[in-house]
Amino acid sequence: MKIFLDTANLESIRKYNAMGIVDGITTNPSLLAKEGGDPEAIMGEIVRTVRGPVSLEVINTEFEGMISEARRLSKFGKNVVVKVPLTSEGLRAVKQLSSEEIRTNVTLVFSANQALLAAKAGASYVSPFIGRLDDIGHVGMDVIRDTVQIFKNYGYKTEVLVASVRHPLHVVDAAKIGAHVVTMPPDVLAKMISHPLTNIGLDRFLADWEKTKEIPKAKLALSK
């Protein structure tokens, strides 16, 4: 399963990229606004920092505007994937962009039906927002399960990109279902790395190693 970071924070991107565990990046207008810098400059730097796909979202909501924005964003680099909202205009844009070989990530997906339509339009990725569904009392992971099944049934090449991930259990559940990609905020990735027993075990190993320095030289010579 591919791991994407859902952030526009370059420091986090560089940190986890260096560990070889990040396959790509997803951004959105909210994440870029959070960084407080020039969004165009940040997008350009992310695209140059990461080799894998980087999703950059269009702001235009009408077909013509989406297309010209998508063409402009795709010039940031070969690894750009244009994020388009699941609307009627968005689906039309996905069809056009796919004919121009511009990869798309259909965002703001909240049902398996919407995901199916995105795949039919030619999306490269479809992004169901599971955390926001959980927030309103729906089981977000059900949309992932249904979408993965539907894409398998009909052989769609569109990848299921699990978005709006809130905690490490979302990642395990998505991986068990067989989702292609999970995009997560850096804090969720940090939680996946860390385990209290790893820290306790490491402290104990280091403390025991210190004890070897107290073994008398005579005893060490005997044991040779």
User: Would you please indicate which residues are annotated as catalytic (active-site) residues?
Assistant: 83
Return all residues near 74 (Cβ < 8 A) that are at least 6 apart: 80, 82, 102
User: Which residue of 131, 168, 178, 186 would you call a contact of ligand G3P, by CB under 6 A?
Assistant: 131
User: Which residue of 164, 170, 177, 182 would you call a contact of ligand G3P, by CB under 6 A?
Assistant: 164
Stated length of the chain: 224
Q: Which residue has the tokens 């949309």?
A: 143
Q: Which lies closer to ligand G3P via its Cβ, residue 110 or residue 151?
A: 110
Q: Does residue 54 contact residue 79 with C-beta atoms inside 8 Å?
A: yes
User: Which residue of 15, 92, 132, 138 would you call a contact of ligand G3P, by CB under 6 A?
Assistant: 132
State the binding string over 21-60 for ligand G3P (x if CB under 6 A, else -): -----x-x--------------------------------
Return all residues near 153 (Cβ < 8 A) that are at least 6 apart: none
- Does position 6 bind ligand G3P by CB under 6 A? yes
- Does position 12 bind ligand G3P by CB under 6 A? no
User: Which residue of 129, 144, 156, 181 would you call a contact of ligand G3P, by CB under 6 A?
Assistant: 129
> 175-200 burial, b if ≥16 CB within 10 A, otherwise e?
eebebbbbbbbbebbeeeeeeeeeee
Scanning 34-42, 88-96, 128-136, 215-223 for contacts with ligand G3P by CB under 6 A, the matching segment is 128-136
